Structure 1
Protein backbone atom coordinates (compact mmCIF):
# COMPACT_ATOMS: atom_id res chain seq x y z
CA UNK A 1 0.00 0.00 0.00
CA UNK A 2 1.96 3.01 -1.27
CA UNK A 3 -0.68 5.24 -2.91
CA UNK A 4 -3.05 7.31 -0.75
CA UNK A 5 -6.22 5.47 0.27
CA UNK A 6 -9.30 6.39 -1.77
CA UNK A 7 -12.17 8.09 0.02
CA UNK A 8 -15.08 5.82 0.89
CA UNK A 9 -18.37 6.59 2.68
CA UNK A 10 -18.08 3.18 4.37
CA UNK A 11 -14.40 3.51 5.25
CA UNK A 12 -11.87 0.67 5.11
CA UNK A 13 -12.87 -1.75 7.91
CA UNK A 14 -10.03 -4.25 7.43
CA UNK A 15 -7.33 -1.60 7.56
CA UNK A 16 -9.00 0.28 10.42
CA UNK A 17 -9.23 -2.84 12.60
CA UNK A 18 -5.69 -3.92 11.68
CA UNK A 19 -4.45 -0.43 12.59
CA UNK A 20 -6.03 -0.71 16.06
CA UNK A 21 -4.49 -4.18 16.50
CA UNK A 22 -1.05 -2.97 15.27
CA UNK A 23 -1.24 -5.49 12.43
CA UNK A 24 -0.10 -3.13 9.65
CA UNK A 25 3.42 -2.80 8.32
CA UNK A 26 5.13 0.48 9.27
CA UNK A 27 4.60 2.08 5.84
CA UNK A 28 0.97 0.92 5.80
CA UNK A 29 0.39 2.29 9.28
CA UNK A 30 1.88 5.66 8.31
CA UNK A 31 -0.31 5.97 5.21
CA UNK A 32 -3.41 4.90 7.12
CA UNK A 33 -2.70 7.45 9.88
CA UNK A 34 -2.73 10.19 7.23
CA UNK A 35 -5.96 8.82 5.76
CA UNK A 36 -7.55 8.53 9.21
CA UNK A 37 -7.31 12.27 9.77
CA UNK A 38 -9.48 12.84 6.69
CA UNK A 39 -11.95 9.95 6.90
CA UNK A 40 -14.88 10.14 9.40
CA UNK A 41 -15.99 6.59 8.47
CA UNK A 42 -12.61 5.08 9.37
CA UNK A 43 -12.47 7.11 12.59
CA UNK A 44 -15.87 5.70 13.53
CA UNK A 45 -14.67 2.12 12.83
CA UNK A 46 -11.49 2.73 14.84
CA UNK A 47 -13.53 4.07 17.79
CA UNK A 48 -15.92 1.10 17.67
CA UNK A 49 -13.02 -1.36 17.44
CA UNK A 50 -11.24 0.24 20.39
CA UNK A 51 -14.49 0.01 22.36
CA UNK A 52 -14.84 -3.68 21.49
CA UNK A 53 -11.22 -4.49 22.38
CA UNK A 54 -11.63 -2.63 25.68
CA UNK A 55 -14.74 -4.62 26.47
CA UNK A 56 -12.97 -7.85 25.57
CA UNK A 57 -9.98 -6.95 27.71
CA UNK A 58 -12.14 -6.16 30.73
CA UNK A 59 -14.27 -9.28 30.22
CA UNK A 60 -11.36 -11.73 30.49
CA UNK A 61 -9.84 -12.36 33.90
CA UNK A 62 -6.02 -12.05 33.72
CA UNK A 63 -4.08 -15.23 34.48
CA UNK A 64 -0.38 -15.99 34.79
CA UNK A 65 1.13 -17.72 31.73
CA UNK A 66 2.33 -21.31 32.18
CA UNK A 67 6.03 -21.77 32.95
CA UNK A 68 6.46 -23.84 29.79
CA UNK A 69 5.60 -20.81 27.62
CA UNK A 70 9.04 -19.24 28.14
CA UNK A 71 10.79 -22.45 27.04
CA UNK A 72 8.63 -22.72 23.93
CA UNK A 73 9.34 -19.11 22.96
CA UNK A 74 13.09 -19.59 23.41
CA UNK A 75 12.97 -22.81 21.38
CA UNK A 76 11.10 -21.02 18.56
CA UNK A 77 13.68 -18.23 18.52
CA UNK A 78 16.71 -20.56 18.69
CA UNK A 79 19.10 -20.89 15.66
CA UNK A 80 18.56 -23.66 13.10
CA UNK A 81 19.68 -27.14 14.11
CA UNK A 82 22.98 -28.61 12.87
CA UNK A 83 21.40 -30.38 9.88
CA UNK A 84 19.65 -27.25 8.66
CA UNK A 85 22.74 -25.12 9.28
CA UNK A 86 24.91 -27.57 7.31
CA UNK A 87 22.45 -27.54 4.42
CA UNK A 88 22.39 -23.74 4.30
CA UNK A 89 26.19 -23.59 4.47
CA UNK A 90 26.46 -26.13 1.63
CA UNK A 91 24.10 -24.12 -0.58
CA UNK A 92 25.93 -20.89 0.19
CA UNK A 93 29.33 -22.47 -0.62
CA UNK A 94 28.11 -23.66 -4.02
CA UNK A 95 26.62 -20.33 -5.02
CA UNK A 96 28.70 -18.37 -7.58
CA UNK A 97 30.78 -15.60 -6.12
CA UNK A 98 29.52 -12.51 -7.90
CA UNK A 99 28.50 -9.03 -6.85
CA UNK A 100 25.23 -9.38 -8.77
CA UNK A 101 24.15 -12.51 -6.92
CA UNK A 102 22.22 -12.18 -3.67
CA UNK A 103 23.23 -14.90 -1.21
CA UNK A 104 20.51 -17.24 -0.01
CA UNK A 105 19.00 -16.14 3.29
CA UNK A 106 17.05 -18.28 5.64
CA UNK A 107 13.47 -17.02 5.99
CA UNK A 108 12.75 -15.16 9.18
CA UNK A 109 11.10 -17.46 11.66
CA UNK A 110 7.62 -16.46 12.77
CA UNK A 111 7.12 -13.73 10.15
CA UNK A 112 4.30 -15.43 8.29
CA UNK A 113 2.88 -16.63 11.60
CA UNK A 114 2.64 -13.06 12.90
CA UNK A 115 1.05 -11.88 9.66
CA UNK A 116 -1.47 -14.71 9.60
CA UNK A 117 -2.29 -14.20 13.27
CA UNK A 118 -2.86 -10.49 12.66
CA UNK A 119 -5.17 -11.21 9.73
CA UNK A 120 -7.15 -13.72 11.77
CA UNK A 121 -7.41 -11.23 14.61
CA UNK A 122 -8.64 -8.58 12.17
CA UNK A 123 -11.34 -10.91 10.88
CA UNK A 124 -12.39 -11.86 14.41
CA UNK A 125 -12.58 -8.27 15.62
CA UNK A 126 -14.44 -7.22 12.46
CA UNK A 127 -17.05 -9.86 13.22
CA UNK A 128 -17.24 -8.62 16.80
CA UNK A 129 -17.57 -5.00 15.67
CA UNK A 130 -20.45 -5.95 13.38
CA UNK A 131 -22.12 -8.00 16.13
CA UNK A 132 -21.69 -5.26 18.72
CA UNK A 133 -22.97 -2.70 16.21
CA UNK A 134 -26.10 -4.77 15.67
CA UNK A 135 -26.60 -5.08 19.42
CA UNK A 136 -26.08 -1.34 19.93
CA UNK A 137 -28.59 -0.56 17.17
CA UNK A 138 -31.08 -3.00 18.68
CA UNK A 139 -30.60 -1.48 22.14
CA UNK A 140 -31.08 2.02 20.74
CA UNK A 141 -34.24 0.92 18.96
CA UNK A 142 -35.57 -0.65 22.16
CA UNK A 143 -34.65 2.47 24.12
CA UNK A 144 -36.43 4.69 21.60
CA UNK A 145 -39.51 2.47 21.76
CA UNK A 146 -39.39 2.51 25.55
CA UNK A 147 -39.06 6.30 25.62
CA UNK A 148 -41.93 6.69 23.15
CA UNK A 149 -44.12 4.40 25.25
CA UNK A 150 -43.19 6.31 28.41
CA UNK A 151 -44.00 9.64 26.71
CA UNK A 152 -47.32 8.26 25.51
CA UNK A 153 -48.13 7.00 29.01
CA UNK A 154 -47.20 10.37 30.54
CA UNK A 155 -49.39 12.19 28.03
CA UNK A 156 -52.25 9.81 28.77
CA UNK A 157 -51.85 10.53 32.49
CA UNK A 158 -51.96 14.29 31.83
CA UNK A 159 -55.11 13.93 29.75
CA UNK A 160 -56.76 11.90 32.50
CA UNK A 161 -55.81 14.46 35.15
CA UNK A 162 -57.19 17.38 33.12
CA UNK A 163 -60.41 15.53 32.37
CA UNK A 164 -60.83 14.52 36.03
CA UNK A 165 -60.19 18.09 37.21
CA UNK A 166 -62.85 19.45 34.84
CA UNK A 167 -65.40 17.13 36.39
CA UNK A 168 -64.68 18.28 39.97
CA UNK A 169 -67.10 20.82 41.49
CA UNK A 170 -65.64 24.30 41.90
CA UNK A 171 -62.78 23.83 39.40
CA UNK A 172 -62.95 26.58 36.72
CA UNK A 173 -63.04 25.07 33.25
CA UNK A 174 -64.25 25.84 29.75
CA UNK A 175 -65.37 23.32 27.14
CA UNK A 176 -64.07 24.32 23.69
CA UNK A 177 -66.35 23.49 20.78
CA UNK A 178 -66.58 24.43 17.11
CA UNK A 179 -69.49 26.53 15.78
CA UNK A 180 -71.05 23.20 14.74
CA UNK A 181 -70.88 21.99 18.38
CA UNK A 182 -67.99 19.54 17.98
CA UNK A 183 -65.80 19.09 21.06
CA UNK A 184 -62.16 20.08 20.41
CA UNK A 185 -60.74 20.64 23.88
CA UNK A 186 -60.83 21.88 27.45
CA UNK A 187 -59.25 24.69 29.44
CA UNK A 188 -58.93 23.86 33.16
CA UNK A 189 -57.44 25.79 36.07
CA UNK A 190 -56.38 23.42 38.87
CA UNK A 191 -55.05 26.29 40.97
CA UNK A 192 -51.73 26.89 39.20
CA UNK A 193 -52.87 28.62 36.02
CA UNK A 194 -54.90 27.50 33.00
CA UNK A 195 -54.06 24.25 31.21
CA UNK A 196 -55.35 23.45 27.74
CA UNK A 197 -56.31 20.06 26.40
CA UNK A 198 -56.71 20.13 22.61
CA UNK A 199 -58.22 17.14 20.83
CA UNK A 200 -59.98 16.90 17.48
CA UNK A 201 -58.50 19.98 15.82
CA UNK A 202 -57.25 19.46 12.29
CA UNK A 203 -53.43 19.39 11.94
CA UNK A 204 -52.05 22.81 11.04
CA UNK A 205 -49.72 23.25 8.07
CA UNK A 206 -46.19 24.70 8.47
CA UNK A 207 -47.41 28.20 7.55
CA UNK A 208 -50.11 28.39 10.26
CA UNK A 209 -50.43 27.92 14.00
CA UNK A 210 -53.24 27.69 16.52
CA UNK A 211 -53.60 30.36 19.23
CA UNK A 212 -55.50 30.12 22.52
CA UNK A 213 -57.26 33.31 23.61
CA UNK A 214 -58.66 34.32 26.99
CA UNK A 215 -61.77 36.52 27.06
CA UNK A 216 -61.54 39.22 29.77
CA UNK A 217 -64.15 41.99 29.76
CA UNK A 218 -65.03 41.19 26.18
CA UNK A 219 -61.43 41.74 25.01
CA UNK A 220 -59.49 38.73 23.67
CA UNK A 221 -56.04 38.24 25.18
CA UNK A 222 -53.55 36.08 23.27
CA UNK A 223 -52.27 33.40 25.65
CA UNK A 224 -50.19 30.86 23.75
CA UNK A 225 -49.55 29.42 20.29
CA UNK A 226 -49.59 25.67 19.76
CA UNK A 227 -49.43 23.20 16.91
CA UNK A 228 -51.34 20.04 16.05
CA UNK A 229 -49.34 17.37 14.21
CA UNK A 230 -52.26 14.97 14.53
CA UNK A 231 -55.73 15.05 15.92
CA UNK A 232 -54.36 15.08 19.49
CA UNK A 233 -54.67 15.05 22.35
CA UNK A 234 -52.22 17.82 23.27
CA UNK A 235 -51.87 19.11 26.84
CA UNK A 236 -50.18 22.46 27.27
CA UNK A 237 -49.77 24.86 30.17
CA UNK A 238 -50.79 28.45 29.51
CA UNK A 239 -48.28 31.19 30.45
CA UNK A 240 -49.54 33.59 33.10
CA UNK A 241 -50.72 36.95 31.79
CA UNK A 242 -51.97 40.11 33.40
CA UNK A 243 -55.71 40.47 32.80
CA UNK A 244 -58.61 42.22 34.45
CA UNK A 245 -60.01 39.45 36.63
CA UNK A 246 -60.48 35.78 35.68
CA UNK A 247 -61.23 34.86 32.09
CA UNK A 248 -64.92 34.58 31.32
CA UNK A 249 -64.21 32.27 28.43
CA UNK A 250 -61.63 31.00 25.96
CA UNK A 251 -61.33 30.69 22.20
CA UNK A 252 -59.01 29.05 19.66
CA UNK A 253 -58.07 30.65 16.34
CA UNK A 254 -56.00 29.55 13.35
CA UNK A 255 -53.38 32.17 12.50
CA UNK A 256 -50.85 32.67 9.71
CA UNK A 257 -47.24 32.53 10.86
CA UNK A 258 -46.00 31.22 14.20
CA UNK A 259 -46.64 34.06 16.66
CA UNK A 260 -49.60 35.37 18.65
CA UNK A 261 -51.20 38.32 16.79
CA UNK A 262 -52.87 41.33 18.41
CA UNK A 263 -56.37 40.07 17.53
CA UNK A 264 -57.72 36.71 16.37
CA UNK A 265 -58.07 36.11 12.63
CA UNK A 266 -60.12 32.93 12.22
CA UNK A 267 -61.84 31.63 15.38
CA UNK A 268 -62.41 27.87 15.10
CA UNK A 269 -63.63 27.05 18.64
CA UNK A 270 -64.73 28.75 21.85
CA UNK A 271 -66.32 28.12 25.25
CA UNK A 272 -67.43 29.96 28.41
CA UNK A 273 -65.90 29.35 31.82
CA UNK A 274 -67.91 27.31 34.32
CA UNK A 275 -67.31 25.87 37.76
Structure 2
Protein backbone atom coordinates (compact mmCIF):
# COMPACT_ATOMS: atom_id res chain seq x y z
CA UNK A 1 0.00 0.00 0.00
CA UNK A 2 2.40 2.73 -1.19
CA UNK A 3 -0.29 5.27 -2.14
CA UNK A 4 -2.81 6.25 0.49
CA UNK A 5 -5.96 4.16 0.24
CA UNK A 6 -9.06 6.05 -0.83
CA UNK A 7 -12.51 5.24 0.61
CA UNK A 8 -14.60 3.16 -1.79
CA UNK A 9 -18.34 2.35 -1.59
CA UNK A 10 -17.49 -1.36 -1.92
CA UNK A 11 -14.29 -1.08 0.12
CA UNK A 12 -11.09 -3.03 -0.64
CA UNK A 13 -12.14 -6.68 -0.12
CA UNK A 14 -8.75 -8.42 -0.36
CA UNK A 15 -7.00 -5.94 1.93
CA UNK A 16 -9.89 -6.00 4.41
CA UNK A 17 -9.87 -9.80 4.60
CA UNK A 18 -6.04 -9.88 4.80
CA UNK A 19 -6.16 -7.37 7.67
CA UNK A 20 -8.65 -9.52 9.62
CA UNK A 21 -6.47 -12.60 9.01
CA UNK A 22 -3.30 -10.70 10.09
CA UNK A 23 -1.63 -11.28 6.71
CA UNK A 24 -0.44 -7.69 6.13
CA UNK A 25 3.06 -6.41 6.85
CA UNK A 26 3.29 -4.23 10.01
CA UNK A 27 3.38 -0.95 8.04
CA UNK A 28 0.48 -2.08 5.81
CA UNK A 29 -1.45 -3.19 8.87
CA UNK A 30 -1.12 0.24 10.49
CA UNK A 31 -2.01 2.02 7.23
CA UNK A 32 -5.14 -0.06 6.75
CA UNK A 33 -6.20 0.39 10.39
CA UNK A 34 -6.07 4.17 9.87
CA UNK A 35 -7.97 3.80 6.57
CA UNK A 36 -10.82 1.99 8.38
CA UNK A 37 -11.73 5.21 10.20
CA UNK A 38 -12.89 6.79 6.94
CA UNK A 39 -14.07 3.87 4.77
CA UNK A 40 -17.54 2.47 5.50
CA UNK A 41 -17.11 -0.15 2.75
CA UNK A 42 -14.04 -1.69 4.38
CA UNK A 43 -15.65 -1.51 7.83
CA UNK A 44 -18.59 -3.55 6.52
CA UNK A 45 -16.25 -6.15 4.96
CA UNK A 46 -14.20 -6.39 8.16
CA UNK A 47 -17.35 -6.85 10.26
CA UNK A 48 -18.64 -9.53 7.88
CA UNK A 49 -15.30 -11.34 7.83
CA UNK A 50 -15.06 -11.34 11.62
CA UNK A 51 -18.64 -12.65 11.85
CA UNK A 52 -17.86 -15.43 9.38
CA UNK A 53 -14.69 -16.27 11.31
CA UNK A 54 -16.69 -16.51 14.52
CA UNK A 55 -19.22 -18.79 12.81
CA UNK A 56 -16.47 -21.01 11.44
CA UNK A 57 -14.74 -21.11 14.82
CA UNK A 58 -17.94 -22.18 16.50
CA UNK A 59 -18.62 -24.80 13.83
CA UNK A 60 -15.24 -26.55 14.10
CA UNK A 61 -14.62 -28.81 17.06
CA UNK A 62 -11.13 -28.23 18.58
CA UNK A 63 -8.76 -31.19 18.22
CA UNK A 64 -5.77 -31.90 20.47
CA UNK A 65 -2.56 -32.26 18.36
CA UNK A 66 -0.62 -35.53 18.72
CA UNK A 67 2.37 -35.50 21.14
CA UNK A 68 4.77 -36.33 18.27
CA UNK A 69 4.00 -33.03 16.47
CA UNK A 70 6.23 -30.91 18.72
CA UNK A 71 9.22 -33.26 18.27
CA UNK A 72 8.79 -33.26 14.47
CA UNK A 73 8.61 -29.45 14.31
CA UNK A 74 11.76 -29.07 16.44
CA UNK A 75 13.64 -31.65 14.33
CA UNK A 76 12.73 -29.92 11.06
CA UNK A 77 13.64 -26.50 12.48
CA UNK A 78 17.06 -27.84 13.57
CA UNK A 79 17.66 -29.36 10.13
CA UNK A 80 16.82 -26.07 8.37
CA UNK A 81 19.05 -24.09 10.75
CA UNK A 82 22.24 -25.94 9.61
CA UNK A 83 21.70 -27.06 5.96
CA UNK A 84 25.42 -27.14 5.07
CA UNK A 85 26.93 -28.92 8.05
CA UNK A 86 26.84 -32.42 6.50
CA UNK A 87 28.80 -31.36 3.42
CA UNK A 88 31.36 -29.17 5.21
CA UNK A 89 32.77 -31.90 7.42
CA UNK A 90 35.21 -33.16 4.78
CA UNK A 91 36.55 -29.80 3.68
CA UNK A 92 40.32 -29.51 3.38
CA UNK A 93 42.04 -27.07 5.76
CA UNK A 94 44.30 -25.99 2.90
CA UNK A 95 41.65 -24.13 0.95
CA UNK A 96 42.93 -20.85 -0.44
CA UNK A 97 41.63 -17.43 0.60
CA UNK A 98 40.35 -16.82 -2.91
CA UNK A 99 38.41 -20.06 -2.80
CA UNK A 100 36.84 -19.08 0.53
CA UNK A 101 35.87 -15.64 -0.79
CA UNK A 102 34.39 -17.16 -3.94
CA UNK A 103 32.49 -19.65 -1.82
CA UNK A 104 31.29 -16.85 0.45
CA UNK A 105 30.09 -14.76 -2.51
CA UNK A 106 28.35 -17.78 -4.01
CA UNK A 107 26.65 -18.59 -0.72
CA UNK A 108 25.50 -14.97 -0.32
CA UNK A 109 24.07 -14.86 -3.85
CA UNK A 110 22.36 -18.20 -3.34
CA UNK A 111 21.00 -17.03 0.03
CA UNK A 112 19.57 -13.85 -1.52
CA UNK A 113 17.91 -15.83 -4.31
CA UNK A 114 16.43 -18.29 -1.83
CA UNK A 115 15.27 -15.42 0.39
CA UNK A 116 13.61 -13.63 -2.54
CA UNK A 117 12.05 -16.86 -3.75
CA UNK A 118 10.74 -17.68 -0.28
CA UNK A 119 9.37 -14.16 0.08
CA UNK A 120 7.64 -14.39 -3.31
CA UNK A 121 6.19 -17.80 -2.43
CA UNK A 122 4.98 -16.42 0.90
CA UNK A 123 3.34 -13.49 -0.85
CA UNK A 124 1.77 -15.68 -3.52
CA UNK A 125 0.51 -18.15 -0.93
CA UNK A 126 -0.88 -15.32 1.19
CA UNK A 127 -2.58 -13.85 -1.89
CA UNK A 128 -4.25 -17.16 -2.69
CA UNK A 129 -5.32 -17.55 0.94
CA UNK A 130 -6.76 -14.03 1.01
CA UNK A 131 -8.63 -14.57 -2.27
CA UNK A 132 -10.01 -17.86 -0.99
CA UNK A 133 -10.98 -16.26 2.32
CA UNK A 134 -12.65 -13.36 0.49
CA UNK A 135 -14.64 -15.81 -1.62
CA UNK A 136 -15.57 -17.72 1.53
CA UNK A 137 -16.73 -14.50 3.19
CA UNK A 138 -18.96 -13.73 0.19
CA UNK A 139 -20.48 -17.24 0.19
CA UNK A 140 -20.97 -17.55 3.93
CA UNK A 141 -21.98 -13.89 4.17
CA UNK A 142 -24.77 -14.69 1.71
CA UNK A 143 -25.80 -17.63 3.87
CA UNK A 144 -25.76 -15.43 6.97
CA UNK A 145 -27.93 -12.83 5.20
CA UNK A 146 -30.32 -15.55 4.02
CA UNK A 147 -30.49 -16.91 7.57
CA UNK A 148 -31.29 -13.42 8.87
CA UNK A 149 -34.05 -13.04 6.27
CA UNK A 150 -35.50 -16.39 7.32
CA UNK A 151 -35.32 -15.37 10.97
CA UNK A 152 -37.10 -12.10 10.20
CA UNK A 153 -39.77 -13.94 8.24
CA UNK A 154 -40.16 -16.40 11.11
CA UNK A 155 -40.46 -13.55 13.64
CA UNK A 156 -43.01 -11.77 11.43
CA UNK A 157 -45.04 -14.98 11.10
CA UNK A 158 -44.89 -15.50 14.88
CA UNK A 159 -46.03 -11.90 15.48
CA UNK A 160 -48.89 -12.37 13.01
CA UNK A 161 -49.93 -15.61 14.71
CA UNK A 162 -49.84 -13.90 18.13
CA UNK A 163 -51.93 -11.00 16.81
CA UNK A 164 -54.46 -13.42 15.33
CA UNK A 165 -54.66 -15.25 18.67
CA UNK A 166 -55.34 -11.98 20.51
CA UNK A 167 -58.07 -11.04 18.02
CA UNK A 168 -59.79 -14.39 18.47
CA UNK A 169 -59.55 -14.16 22.27
CA UNK A 170 -60.97 -10.60 22.36
CA UNK A 171 -63.86 -11.43 20.05
CA UNK A 172 -64.57 -14.58 22.04
CA UNK A 173 -64.51 -12.63 25.34
CA UNK A 174 -66.86 -9.95 23.96
CA UNK A 175 -69.38 -12.65 23.02
CA UNK A 176 -69.56 -14.00 26.58
CA UNK A 177 -72.48 -12.68 28.66
CA UNK A 178 -71.42 -10.28 31.42
CA UNK A 179 -68.08 -9.25 29.86
CA UNK A 180 -67.87 -5.42 29.64
CA UNK A 181 -67.25 -4.46 26.03
CA UNK A 182 -67.83 -1.78 23.42
CA UNK A 183 -68.45 -2.50 19.75
CA UNK A 184 -66.95 0.30 17.64
CA UNK A 185 -68.84 0.98 14.41
CA UNK A 186 -68.55 3.60 11.69
CA UNK A 187 -71.34 6.05 10.90
CA UNK A 188 -72.46 3.59 8.20
CA UNK A 189 -72.68 0.81 10.78
CA UNK A 190 -69.55 -1.07 9.69
CA UNK A 191 -67.67 -2.94 12.41
CA UNK A 192 -64.23 -1.39 12.95
CA UNK A 193 -63.18 -2.51 16.41
CA UNK A 194 -63.77 -3.55 20.01
CA UNK A 195 -62.88 -2.47 23.51
CA UNK A 196 -63.06 -5.45 25.89
CA UNK A 197 -62.33 -5.76 29.61
CA UNK A 198 -61.46 -9.36 30.53
CA UNK A 199 -60.67 -8.40 34.11
CA UNK A 200 -57.17 -6.98 33.69
CA UNK A 201 -58.18 -3.63 32.21
CA UNK A 202 -59.67 -2.63 28.84
CA UNK A 203 -58.05 -3.97 25.67
CA UNK A 204 -58.44 -2.43 22.26
CA UNK A 205 -58.93 -4.01 18.83
CA UNK A 206 -59.06 -1.98 15.60
CA UNK A 207 -59.72 -3.50 12.19
CA UNK A 208 -61.16 -2.41 8.85
CA UNK A 209 -60.00 1.23 9.14
CA UNK A 210 -58.14 2.69 6.13
CA UNK A 211 -54.35 3.00 6.51
CA UNK A 212 -53.20 6.43 7.71
CA UNK A 213 -50.26 8.33 6.25
CA UNK A 214 -47.26 9.75 8.11
CA UNK A 215 -48.99 13.14 8.51
CA UNK A 216 -52.05 11.69 10.28
CA UNK A 217 -52.88 9.32 13.11
CA UNK A 218 -55.88 7.63 14.70
CA UNK A 219 -56.83 8.54 18.29
CA UNK A 220 -58.79 6.43 20.77
CA UNK A 221 -61.12 8.42 23.03
CA UNK A 222 -62.96 7.46 26.23
CA UNK A 223 -66.41 9.02 26.74
CA UNK A 224 -67.17 10.10 30.33
CA UNK A 225 -70.34 12.18 30.98
CA UNK A 226 -70.42 13.05 27.30
CA UNK A 227 -66.89 14.49 27.46
CA UNK A 228 -64.18 12.82 25.29
CA UNK A 229 -60.86 11.97 26.97
CA UNK A 230 -57.91 11.32 24.68
CA UNK A 231 -56.34 7.96 25.52
CA UNK A 232 -53.66 7.45 22.87
CA UNK A 233 -52.75 7.24 19.20
CA UNK A 234 -52.42 4.24 16.90
CA UNK A 235 -51.61 3.60 13.24
CA UNK A 236 -53.30 1.40 10.66
CA UNK A 237 -50.92 0.01 8.04
CA UNK A 238 -53.29 -2.24 6.12
CA UNK A 239 -51.34 -5.34 7.22
CA UNK A 240 -54.03 -6.51 9.65
CA UNK A 241 -55.79 -5.70 12.92
CA UNK A 242 -54.20 -3.65 15.69
CA UNK A 243 -54.47 -4.86 19.29
CA UNK A 244 -53.25 -3.08 22.42
CA UNK A 245 -54.09 -2.29 26.03
CA UNK A 246 -56.10 0.87 26.66
CA UNK A 247 -53.85 3.38 28.49
CA UNK A 248 -54.84 4.08 32.10
CA UNK A 249 -56.35 7.46 33.02
CA UNK A 250 -57.31 9.35 36.16
CA UNK A 251 -60.87 8.19 35.55
CA UNK A 252 -59.71 4.60 35.93
CA UNK A 253 -60.91 3.72 32.41
CA UNK A 254 -64.54 3.81 33.63
CA UNK A 255 -66.05 5.14 30.47
CA UNK A 256 -69.62 4.86 29.19
CA UNK A 257 -68.30 4.45 25.67
CA UNK A 258 -65.37 4.86 23.31
CA UNK A 259 -64.72 6.60 19.99
CA UNK A 260 -62.02 6.75 17.31
CA UNK A 261 -61.05 9.89 15.40
CA UNK A 262 -58.74 10.59 12.47
CA UNK A 263 -56.40 13.47 13.28
CA UNK A 264 -53.75 15.56 11.51
CA UNK A 265 -50.34 15.36 13.17
CA UNK A 266 -49.00 12.64 15.48
CA UNK A 267 -50.35 13.65 18.90
CA UNK A 268 -53.65 13.58 20.78
CA UNK A 269 -55.50 16.89 20.27
CA UNK A 270 -57.60 18.67 22.88
CA UNK A 271 -60.79 17.50 21.17
CA UNK A 272 -61.55 15.08 18.32
CA UNK A 273 -61.54 16.54 14.81
CA UNK A 274 -63.07 13.80 12.65
CA UNK A 275 -64.81 10.96 14.49
CA UNK A 276 -64.79 7.79 12.36
CA UNK A 277 -66.23 5.25 14.83
CA UNK A 278 -67.92 5.07 18.23
CA UNK A 279 -69.83 2.72 20.56
CA UNK A 280 -71.48 2.44 23.97
CA UNK A 281 -70.59 0.13 26.84
CA UNK A 282 -72.44 -3.17 26.96
CA UNK A 283 -72.17 -6.43 28.86
Q: Which TM bucket (shorter chain)?
A: 0.7 to 0.9
Distance 1:197 1:144, change over 3 A: same
Q: Distance in 2 between matches of 1:224 and 1:252?
A: 10
The answer to whether the 8 Å contact 1:23/1:119 transfers is no
- The offset of 1:152, in angstroms, is 0.5
Q: Distance in 2 between matches of 1:17 and 1:245?
A: 60
Distance 1:45 1:77, change over 3 A: farther
The match for 1:131 among 133, 139, 142 is 139
Q: Distance in 1 between matches of 2:254 and 2:131?
A: 72
Structure 1: runs of 5 or more not aligned: 84-88, 94-102
The answer to whether the 8 Å contact 1:200/1:231 transfers is no
Distance 1:226 1:17, change over 3 A: closer
Q: Distance in 1 between matches of 2:253 and 2:30?
A: 76
Tell me whether 1:29 sits opposite 2:35 in the alignment.
no
Stretch of structure 1 that moved more, 23-32 or 121-130: 23-32
Q: Distance in 1 between matches of 2:54 and 2:251?
A: 62
Residue 96 of structure 1 aligns with which residue?
Answer: none
Residue 98 of structure 1 aligns with which residue?
Answer: none
Residue 114 of structure 2 aligns with which residue?
Answer: 108
- What CA deviation, in whole Å up to 9, does each residue of 1:136-170 have, x standing for no partner? 11111111011101110111111011101100110
Q: Distance in 1 between matches of 2:50 and 2:266?
A: 47
Distance 1:196 1:50, change over 3 A: closer
Report the 3-state secondary structure (helix = DSSP H, G, I; strand = E; otherwise coil) of the residue aligned with 2:114: coil
Which TM-score applies when normalising by structure 1? Answer: 0.81
Distance 1:147 1:245, change over 3 A: closer
Q: In the comparison of the two structures, how many residue pairs are matched?
A: 261
The answer to whether the 8 Å contact 2:222/2:253 transfers is no
Residue 20 of structure 2 aligns with which residue?
Answer: 20
The answer to whether the 8 Å contact 1:201/1:232 transfers is no
The answer to whether the 8 Å contact 2:202/2:253 transfers is no
Distance 1:156 1:215, change over 3 A: same
Which structure shows the bigger proportion of residues in helix conformation?
2
- The offset of 1:185, in angstroms, is 1.0
The answer to whether the 8 Å contact 1:217/1:244 transfers is no
The CA RMSD over aligned residues, in Å, is 2.9
Tell me whether 1:237 sits opposite 2:245 in the alignment.
yes
- The offset of 1:75, in angstroms, is 4.2
Which TM-score applies when normalising by structure 2? Answer: 0.79
The answer to whether the 8 Å contact 1:184/1:198 transfers is yes
Alignment of 1:261-272 (within 5 A): 261-272=269-280
Residue 63 of structure 1 aligns with which residue?
Answer: 65
Distance 1:200 1:30, change over 3 A: closer
